[in-house]
Chain A
């Protein structure tokens, strides 16, 4: 029983309750950081770290937080974890920190984190909330990496900074610019909903 619940908590954000292509949350960062795989990877790791740990923290505190100030407490906890990510990147991965610039700080505004806390962590036990936060982060991560894969490949002919396509390839500049993010995201949402989520739509 407990295992089944755990499994369901873990699998739902990856598939039929995915934060990006079902709930359409966290779209601003999806569009902003997906033009290079490397940046995307750091961003999604930051988001996974933050969702998992802030869900855990809020769940631990859930019986003590006065409900009228719960949003303030949530924001404070999220901001703390994001600042930790920022400080660690700045000290140990300065090149990456420079490239990501303001986006690390903007993890705070990622709706997935606040959304999972409000919808899940406030009502569930700490371990389950940690799993839910982590799985939501993963569900966000793989969609973003897929988008970044397409955008970097078509936009610069390279992957992870290494040139993949030869000199015959003409870079699609639009792919690395903001509109490219909209196109790829929309196409991926469309494909996934059409191909894999037919039955969910008819429910």
Chain B
């Protein structure tokens, strides 16, 4: 800069400039955040509710409204768990969280009335390796728990047939193990929290 260095140009101006830039940037981002906040919250709630419906084996239309409608009419919220009124009787759904390979995995685990047969599983959140561990989100993996009973043993991908066997994911052995532990714990939790009252 060719201008001569004064106290103002060296100390005050940079401070004022940075303050102005910061003020403007924060105004912009917080404005946008507030404008989309409702939508973000709706999305988040919709994700959780869809997971509960999936775990309970309730049929629904996969849109925000469809999820909302099915949830309002079929799901009853209890303390720490949910009761679904499905076509095949009552189902009990509990949220379970446990460690994964990179971060926590949260699932909704649904049970038949006997509290030991799974009616379904749905992932709420996970941070596993995309393409490997993240395949726990794929339908073939979550669907296989339906009608099975914990404690589970892992077998090679594509070979599970007994009622306590589940397919592991090739290339994601650790994630599969964490997931098995999580589902086993879900079954214990269900007996303790829902059955023990």
Using a CB–CB cutoff of 8 Å, the interface residues on chain A facing chain B are: 35-36, 39, 64-69, 72-73, 76-77, 79-80, 83-84, 87-88, 90-92, 94, 98-99, 101, 152, 155-156, 171, 173, 176-177
Decide: A68 and B39 in contact? CB cutoff 8 A.
no
Q: Mark B120-137, 1 if CB is under 8 A from A, else 0.
A: 000001010111101000
In the complex, how many angstroms separate the beta carbon of B156 from the nearest chain A beta carbon?
14
Cβ of A176 and Cβ of B129 under 8 Å apart? yes
Does B29 sit at the interface, judged by CB under 8 A?
yes
- In the complex, 6 of the A-B residue pairs with CB atoms within 8 angstroms, ordered by the A residue number, are A66-B14, A73-B18, A76-B18, A84-B29, A87-B33, A171-B170
- Nearest B residue to A91 via CB reads B36
Contacts A87-B32, A91-B39 given; indicate if A173 touches B132 (C-beta within 8 A).
yes
SS of B interface (majority): helix
Cβ contact of A83, chosen from B29, B130, B134, cutoff 8 A: B29
Q: Which residues of A contact B39 (CB under 8 A)?
A: 91-92
Return the chain A residue nearest B170 by Cβ: A173
Number of A-B contacts (CB under 8 A): 76
Q: Which of B20-28, B92-100, B174-182, B184-192 contacts A (4 or more CB under 8 A)?
A: B20-28
CB distance from B9 to the nearest CB of A (A): 8
A126: shortest Cβ distance to chain B, in Å?
A: 17
Contacting residues of chain B (1-57) with chain A, CB-CB under 8 angstroms:
1, 9, 13-14, 17-18, 21-22, 25, 28-29, 32-33, 36, 39-40, 43-44, 47
Are A171 and B25 also in contact (CB < 8 A) when A35-B131, A88-B36 are?
no
Q: Does B171 contact A (CB under 8 A)?
A: yes
